[in-house]
Amino acid sequence: MVAIAHRHADEYVRNPQHSHHIFLVYGGDAGLVAERSRALLRIEAGSATGSDETLSLSGDVVATDPNALLEEVHSLRLFDQARSAIRISLGGRNLIPVLDLLLRSAPFQARVVVEAGPLKPSAPLRKWFESQASAVAIECYSDQPKDLRRLIAQQIASVGASIDSDAIEMLAEILGEDRRVTRSEIEKLCLYTNGQRAVTLNDVADVLTTSSSIDGSDIIMDAILGNEDATIESLNAIAMHSSEFNGVSSNLLRHILALHTARAQVAAGLSQNVALQNFVRALNAYPKIQEISSALDLERCADTAALLDRVYALVRETRQTVVLADTKLSYALIALAHASKTRRGQKQH
């Protein structure tokens, strides 16, 4: 039985056994499936990307014409010494008869990688791979927090920078569902902070909001200040831009982080006036500075630690799918505006 568990997969992919020639790379993290597949193909093909010297085939085509795969596997080395890797994307047809034929045609030097989505332990294809001496099944599931933190730190370190622990925690809260998306976001962060020695929490918050044409800063500030009617009116005005709500939710996180920092500064003994100035500066909210100074009481504002947890969850949801993203975000902003308005009313009485 040759089955590589998720926790051992990266180590194995870096140094696969020479006796293994056929690989099943499967799981719910499509980005990680593609990454590990490319790594296996790159090692065999000897290229920097694992793509130029790789032959890609459809699983349904292979299942329909098994001889096509056999011919490719046994002819690659004859015509191109560098090109000896084949990628097969699993379709709806049964590949097992073809793979049986392939094993019976051994020996061959080509490496064959089959890419698939999630497969239960009882799935016939997975059971076939796990039962073969020269075939391997490699599972790919979403990164766990420990793995994700290590991935973030390693990718930042690869460009000669370090990253603050709170910035890692913020990224780990939001990313991790898909390795490709995770690496893309970290790459954007590296580009944004190019030349810096350290990546900070503010850098992460900035990058998360720059991909959207609508940042919703005015709506978010109205909600924080308790302007409930203005919040609802503005939300109605941008309702047609539901696809942009992930950017608004990320910007909400940036605002709540700034509010949390200012609240902590007051708790540590800094004057409210200075903390408010820091809050305004962090968000470049100078046009609303008078309203912020008169309406925002940092000693009585929301429990920002609990609020941060809810916003982290909201950002993660809206980045994964836009389904109901506008509804979820609207509800969160209206609830924040109502709570802020209530606290402001209590202060006045």
Of 146-150, 226-230, 270-274, 301-305, where does the model show the most confidence?
A: 146-150
Q: In angstroms, how far is CA 186 from the centroid of its own chain?
A: 9
With CA atoms as reference, report the closest residue to 149 among 174, 130, 113, 125.
174
Which CATH number applies to 3-139: 3.40.50.300, 3.50.50.60, 3.20.20.80, 3.30.450.20? 3.40.50.300
Identify the band that residue 154 occupies on the pLDDT scale cut at 50, 70 and 90.
Answer: very high
Residue 312 is predicted with a pLDDT of 78
Percent of the chain at pLDDT > 90 equals 22
Instruction: Give the DSSP per-residue string, 149-188.
Output: HHHHHHHHHTTT-EE-HHHHHHHHHH--S-HHHHHHHHHH
Q: Write down the pLDDT at residue 259.
A: 82
Angle of CA points 253, 256, 257, to nearest 5°: 85
Domain ranges across the chain: 3-139, 145-201, 212-348
Q: What is the pLDDT of residue 1?
A: 54
Other Cβ atoms less than 10 A from the Cβ of 289: the count is 14
pLDDT digits (tens, 9 = 90+) for 258-273: 888 888 888 888 888 8
Distance CA 245, CA 220 (A): 12
CA torsion 245-246-251-254 (nearest 10°) is 150
**Cα→Cα distances 257→65, 113, 286, 332, Å:** 57, 44, 18, 16
| 319 in Cβ contact with 240 (< 8 Å) | no
| Secondary structure element (H or E) that encloses residue 236, with its range | helix 228-237
Closest alpha carbon to 25 in 147, 135, 179: 135
How far is the C-alpha of 93 from the C-alpha of 151, rounded, in Å? 35
Confidence of residue 155 (pLDDT cuts 50, 70, 90): very high
Whether CATH 1.10.8.60 fits 145-201: yes
If one compares 222 and 240, the residue with the highest pLDDT of the two is 222
